[in-house]
Chains A and B, each alone.
Chain A
Amino acid sequence: MKALYSWLQDFVTVSAPPDELASRLALSGTNIGGVENGPQGAVFDAEVTSNRPDCLSHYGIAREVGAIYKLALKQILPKPAESAAKIADAIKVEIRSPELCGRFTARVIRGVKIQPSPAWLKNRLEACGVASINNVVDISNYVMLELGHPLHTFDYDKIRDHSIVVRGANSRASGGNNADGERIKTLDGVERQLDPGTCVICDGDGSRIVGIGGIMGGAETEISFSTKNVLIECAWFDPIAIRRATRSLKLHTEASTRFARGADPEMAELASRRCAELILQLAGGELLAGVVDVYPAKHAPKKIQVTRAELLRVMGADVPDKEIESILGALGFAPVRVDENRGAAGSILAAWECTQPSWRAEVSREIDLIEEIVRIYGLDKFPPRLPASRQGAARLPHYEAEMRLRERLIGLGYREVVTIPHVAEERDALFRPADVVPASLANPLSEEAGILRSTGTVTMIGALEWNLNHGQRNARLFEIGHHYRLNGSKPVETRVLTLGATGAARDKNLYEPARDYSFADLKGDLDNLGALAGGLRWQEAATEYLNAARRGALFLKAEPLGVAGQLSRRVAERLKFRQDVYLAEINLGPFYCSYYGVKNSRRYQPIPRFPAVERDFSLMLSDGTHFSDVVKAISSLNIPDVASVEAADLFRGKNIPAGKYSLLIKITLQPRSATLTDAQINEVSARIMSTLEKELGAQLRTA
């Protein structure tokens, strides 16, 4: 809301420079986004919070200024001259839906001259960002900006039977062929269909709609330059009904904003009188005597108590009696001291009974009054202190496991990414297991962001894609985040680790040649991570988006953990990737669980006192015989001294028959009780060789 400094001065004799006033307003709750100097003087851009409809007016802001500077607020007492003719004979008003419209006032002025507004009126409106139309319409806008209460003016002669009916819109248009609801053409020339229950202003017998209550008037009855007689509507509409209606109509106006936040029902008659006064002044005519005022929502003002004890309990520091009384008084709460210690200044038992002003419907509790007191008194007057803690603080249960995981990933050269989980359904489907139901959005911003990712992989692909498309060929990325799935109608969020890597594992440098990232890098890195949780088990996998020759499923003991491998050619081509991409995704729940289990059961292994012996065996094996078969065959011998079996070299080709490959294994023998003799070593070697020959058909290859 734009507020003119000079307009505020109509109501309060403030003299502080505009910048200082802006700062004081901001620090008391009316934030000022900026101060501009225009032909009308300083203009404040007041950012009024949604709980303060009263401050969507100059009078309301002036009240704040009065409270801040302890200045009196001028009263508004319009006294327009009235003719002998009575209003009651000129217009009838019936409210059929009091739950939608709590008050409706009507005044009529005859014989007005519609013409352009005088300069002072135009200037003030324009400084506030409102375009000038004609004197009568401008006056209704002016009064709204001044007093905060929206008004509507009708061409009186176009109101059938000089009768107004306020009701809820019907679900079917009466008599017409619009089977699905009533319609009206509003002032802006748009034909609008109304939801049943929308508050409408009708004329005659109530069948013709002439305005959407509190939102916008109708085109058929609007003021034109030929208008002679004016009907002033100043009403009060239920905030929730207005919000419902604006939401369904997708129509927000200055009037609807004020009614939606809660206008002041008591102000309706006063604003109407002020409007009449200005019309007489600027457009002439005669005002019919009195007002038609239908006011079903009238109620006695609410009483609210505020006590010093509660103020101290919430705020932790005191405010003097005088300040409390002056602030609440200036804001219209009429505080009266009601405790037994009346007169004892600063009493801990002090209590004030306040009267809720009609323009502050949202102030209804003691805490609300406390806020009123302290925001004007100054929040900076409450000394900050750091409260003592009464209990230990706990990290997230998986904090340590995740920290160790992240630390290891970083050591392995992976950079963390954070992705937005909204993806295209089609993209998600590329990576989604067949039995998974994704979580779709009911109201996505676009198809491209229509569902939440059902795997971590789908957005990891996006991150790799971004980098490849922006000339970054080498990327080694990880993300720790959730994927989202539906289990029936229940959403399930699962924490996963996703890896994505492409390009060089090592760039060419002065000392070493370049090397591309390969499946072995991915496997080694995952095993390095898996060591934190007791070691991974790898198995063949059938994951479709991964290359059938280079993929695996990961397990922790029997628990499935995830998959890893090279992106399949089919998907890579579809995504237009021109280089190999490696992916892995693992479920972190079981991983973290296992991390703590392994950590807590870890025990020291004494360092062996006797030297270990290594023996190499160069084996010729059939394709399809796995390294794990070799390890299994050796471990089946249960030789206690065999500490490890490692694959040291592997080759095919020259000197190796087709269908065979050569594998060099390195066996480490670690004796426990004495240094091994040559005879013992030879005996073990012979047993191992004979088993491998027998079990796997391995041939010992001599170099």
Chain B
Amino acid sequence: MNAAENITPKKLAELGVTEPDQVATLFAQVRARFDDESTRVHGEESWKLFRDAWLGRKSGVLTQITDNWLKPAGPGLKPAVGAALNQLRAHVEPKIEALHAAIDSGGDAAASPRDRVDLSLPGVIRPVGSRHLIRQVFQEIEDIFFSIGFSVAEGPEIETSYYNFEALNIPEFHPVRDDMDTFYIDVPSSAGQQSNTSMLLRTHTSPVQIRTMEKTKPPVRVIVPGKVYRRDNPDATHSFMFHQIEGLAVDSDITFCDFTGTIEYFVKQFFGSGVKTRFRPSYFPFTEPSVEFDASCIFCNGTGSNSSGTTCSKCKGSGWIELFGAGMVDPAVYGFVNYDPKKVSGFAFGIGIDRLAMLKYGIDDIQAFFQNDVRFLKQFP
């Protein structure tokens, strides 16, 4: 008998095996054939053939041994055949398992380059949209203030002179009206440009302060995102439409310290905790005391000069960037909304969103926001 000879289809008697001590030799021969064949297994296909040849239910070698050798064996031989078969099975099964595992891990590497994906090729890119950058900044700021208890409100863009000016303590011929060149709406029955009821495009989101206080008793804590309009000729830093977020907090115990704390909290959330802040006294008719709020320049880290030692162009060397105006609500404003200025106090601020976004993202032309070139839009996914 040689190793290549296939002996398992034959009965034991045909092989001349009659004594138990002959069984071991017989099984050794089968095992040798298994080991020999296992070395020739390469890849999934040949492994499957190999597995079926040995473990196949109908005609696999182990089934053949059971059918041809074990079942017909007389009582003298049966225990020896059974034991040997178990040993063989204990050898064959794990080996086949192991072979498969080896093929799995090495198999793809072995596959032809033709079948392999080229990872440097793009996949199928489905078009995805994006929020406008202004919307993104609005959302970010709304979320920061919402987290510290500010509700969100809106108001009309076409306003009356009363809400835009008078009720904010800006009477007609007040000098600050010169800084807020105003678009008026041509309404058929309007009483002319200077009257209280004349319609205009709001020059700031502050009218919503008045509208909110008219509707709500203190405490009030609200922010107002929206579009505002000033009749400026457009250039890189001016657009006759831009965006603001107004803020207003009025309660029985709001102080200047609460005001600066709130603003500082916002700026650190928005620009990062490393940013330094300062408040400069300023003037607005509807706040008193009024401040301009500055943050340390994020481009030069407040040093006034950039890494190459030249003057920082963003803060013009001052180390500070003017961010927005704010202040404690002027008591005169409370008079317009029937709040008692002796019992309540509060603060208000108006943040220019476009400017903030330009600073944060290094955009040098405000017009880019409103041209809506898809190459611009794509940059802010």
Contact = CB atoms under 8 A, between A and B. Distances in A.
Interface of A: 26-29, 31, 34, 49-52, 240, 243-244, 247, 260-261, 313-317, 365, 367-368, 370-371, 374-375, 379-380, 382-387, 389-396, 399, 406, 409-422, 439-445, 449, 452, 463, 466-467, 470, 472, 474-478, 482, 484, 486, 488-489, 491, 493, 505-506, 509-512
Contacts of B240: 420, 422, 445, 449
B288 A315 contact: no
Nearest to B322: A31
B158 A493 contact: yes
Contacts of B378: 415
Nearest to A472: B374
Contacts of B130: 410, 415-416
B282 A482 contact: no
B377 A416 contact: yes
19 contacts: A31-B292, A49-B283, A243-B175, A261-B175, A374-B281, A386-B265, A387-B249, A393-B149, A414-B129, A417-B132, A418-B134, A440-B186, A442-B184, A452-B158, A463-B371, A476-B129, A488-B188, A493-B157, A509-B122
A493 B370 CA distance: 20
A422 B229 CA distance: 10
Given A27-B280, A244-B173, A478-B129, A420 B260 contact: no
A491 B146 CA distance: 31
A421 to B, nearest CB: 7
B190 A420 contact: no
A29 to B, nearest CB: 4
Contacts of B151: 393-395
Most buried by B among A374, A386, A399, A511: A386
A443 B231 contact: yes
B128 A510 contact: no
Counting from the closest, the 5 A-B pairs by CB-CB distance are A316-B255, A389-B149, A413-B127, A29-B281, A49-B283
B347 to A, nearest CB: 10
B374 A439 contact: no
Given A49-B283, A396-B152, A511-B124, A387 B372 contact: no
B239 interface: yes
Contacts of A380: 278-279
A394 B152 contact: yes
Is the contact region of chain B dominated by helix, strand, or loop, or is it mixed?
A: mixed
B235 interface: no
Interface string B141-160: 00000101111111011100
Given A27-B280, A260-B175, A386-B148, 18 more contacts: A27-B281, A317-B256, A317-B257, A379-B281, A389-B148, A393-B149, A393-B152, A412-B129, A414-B129, A415-B132, A416-B377, A420-B239, A421-B227, A440-B185, A440-B186, A442-B183, A443-B184, A505-B127
Contacts of B204: none
Nearest to A439: B185
Contacts of B241: 420-422
B199 interface: yes
A486 B148 contact: no
For B146, B193, B283, B289, which residue has the most chain A Cβ atoms within 10 angstroms?
A: B289
Contact of A51 (B187, B283, B291): B283
Given A395-B152, A411-B129, A416-B135, A386 B261 contact: yes
Nearest to B233: A445
Contacts of B124: 509, 511-512
A477 B283 CA distance: 41
B51 interface: no
Interface of B: 121-122, 124-132, 134-135, 146, 148-154, 156-158, 173, 175-176, 178-179, 183-190, 193, 199, 201, 219, 221, 227, 231, 233, 239-241, 249, 251, 253-258, 260-265, 278-283, 288-292, 316, 328, 330-331, 345, 369-375, 377-378
Contacts of A382: 256-257, 260
Nearest to B188: A489
Nearest to A417: B372
Most chain A C-beta atoms within 10 Å of own C-beta, residue among B227, B263, B265, B371? B371
A368 B288 contact: yes
Contacts of A393: 146, 149-152, 221
A489 B189 contact: yes
A396 to B, nearest CB: 5
Given A489-B190, A491-B185, A396 B153 contact: yes
A532 to B, nearest CB: 16
Nearest to A484: B158
Contacts of B371: 463, 466
Contact of A442 (B185, B254, B288, B331): B185
A375 B256 CA distance: 12
B288 A367 contact: yes
A478 B130 CA distance: 10
A416 B131 contact: yes
A320 B175 CA distance: 35
B377 A415 contact: yes
B295 to A, nearest CB: 14
Contacts of B199: 491
A484 B328 CA distance: 34
A493 B156 contact: yes
Given A50-B175, A379-B281, A472-B375, A313 B258 contact: no
Contacts of A512: 124
Given A313-B255, A410-B130, A489-B189, A475 B260 contact: no
Contacts of B125: 509
B117 to A, nearest CB: 11
B264 A384 contact: yes
